[in-house]
């Protein structure tokens, strides 16, 4: 019974208007503030509708224009010109009328009296007489032939000049002996590796050879002559026309003129 009474009371309360002041049995719901739409947002549906309408009209216009371009023009059938047949003219019929024949009688010929013909003599042309000119007249019109004597050209040919002999410096006997002996002296690059390692770098700048024994060379920016010391233990043995002979630890070797030695 209590359950039935509770259900009846609840139904009565629901039918009654809600009280102005909330009570214990009132249902509390969260307050939701009304959402205000911005004025510019209200016009968006109208703008979209207008744009869609314009697009629809544009599509219809393009389709109609395309159809008008693709439809072929109507073929007009040419009507042939009307030809009216005219009947030939009717000639009247004439019966039993003889046809006129042309007059075939030849004309009258009058007699012609022939006169005797005279004999025709052949005409012979007289031979043309050539004009005989006198020798004096011929001499006036004759061209004088002038003979020009061609004198032989005198060509004078000179004997070719003999080439001047270049004066070569005369080498004395000492220099010749040095050159002959230089063939047996080996180059610095042919020395044993143990000796090459001990020879320092030699920068060969100038080579001044003179036959009077006053020759000089420039090694490592210093002017050296025969007998001078280049490095400790290395002396200048000879200065030759195309090479320089050095001596190191009793071993002679040569450097070609202006050929430097770099100890790696």
**pLDDT tens-digit profile of 42-94?**
788 888 999 999 999 999 999 988 776 665 555 656 566 666 666 666 665 55
Domain that holds residue 237: 173-256
Least confident among 180-189, 214-223, 226-235: 180-189
In a domain, 210, yes or no: yes
Give the mean pLDDT of the chain. Answer: 70
Q: Is the pLDDT of residue 102 over 50?
A: yes
In a domain, 202, yes or no: yes
In a domain, 181, yes or no: yes
Give residue 61's pLDDT. Answer: 92
Instruction: Give the count of domains, the chain.
Output: 1
In a domain, 137, yes or no: no
Smallest Cα–Cα separation from 188: which of 231, 124, 151? 231
CA distance 259 to 264: 16
How many other CB atoms sit within 10 Å of the CB of residue 171? 13
In a domain, 114, yes or no: no
In a domain, 83, yes or no: no
In a domain, 180, yes or no: yes
- DSSP-based three-state secondary structure for 48: helix
Least confident among 78-82, 139-143, 221-225: 139-143
Give residue 58's pLDDT. Answer: 93
Query: In percent, how much of the chain has pLDDT > 70?
Result: 48
Residue 45 buriedness (CB in 10 A; 0-12 / 13-18 / 19+) = exposed
- The answer for residues whose C-beta is within 8 angstroms of residue 207's C-beta and 6 or more apart is 217, 218, 239, 244, 257, 258
Give residue 60's pLDDT. Answer: 93
For residue 194, what are its two tokens? 């143990």
For residue 212, what are its two tokens? 């009077």
Q: Where are the beta strands (DSSP E) in the chain?
A: 204-208, 216-219, 222-224, 229-231, 234-239, 243-248, 251-256
In a domain, 229, yes or no: yes
Per-residue pLDDT band at 145 (split at 50, 70, 90) = very low
């Amino acid at each position: 019974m209590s359950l039935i009474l509770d259900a009846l009371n609840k139904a009565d309360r629901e039918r009654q208007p809600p009280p102005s002041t909330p009570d214990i049995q009132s249902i509390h719901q969260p307050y939701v503030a009304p959402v205000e739409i911005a004025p510019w947002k209200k016009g968006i549906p109208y703008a979209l509708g207008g744009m869609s309408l314009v697009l629809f009209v544009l599509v219809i216009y393009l389709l109609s224009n395309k159809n008008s371009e693709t439809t072929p023009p109507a073929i007009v059938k040419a009507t042939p010109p009307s030809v009216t047949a005219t009947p030939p003219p009717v000639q009247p019929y004439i019966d039993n009328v003889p046809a006129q024949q042309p007059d075939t009688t030849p004309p009258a010929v009058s007699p012609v009296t022939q006169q005797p013909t005279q004999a025709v003599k052949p005409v012979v042309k007289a031979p043309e007489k050539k004009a005989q000119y006198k020798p004096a007249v011929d001499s006036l019109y004759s061209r004088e032939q002038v003979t020009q004597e061609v004198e032989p050209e005198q060509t004078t040919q000179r004997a070719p000049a003999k080439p001047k002999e270049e004066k070569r410096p005369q080498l004395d006997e000492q220099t010749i002996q040095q050159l002959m002996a230089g063939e047996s002296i080996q180059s610095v690059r042919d020395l044993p590796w143990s000796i090459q390692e001990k020879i320092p770098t030699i920068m060969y700048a100038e080579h001044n050879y003179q036959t009077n024994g006053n020759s000089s060379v420039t090694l490592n920016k210093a002017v050296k002559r025969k007998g001078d010391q280049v490095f400790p233990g290395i002396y200048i043995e000879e200065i030759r026309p195309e090479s320089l002979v050095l001596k190191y630890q009793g071993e002679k070797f040569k450097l070609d003129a202006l050929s430097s030695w770099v100890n790696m």
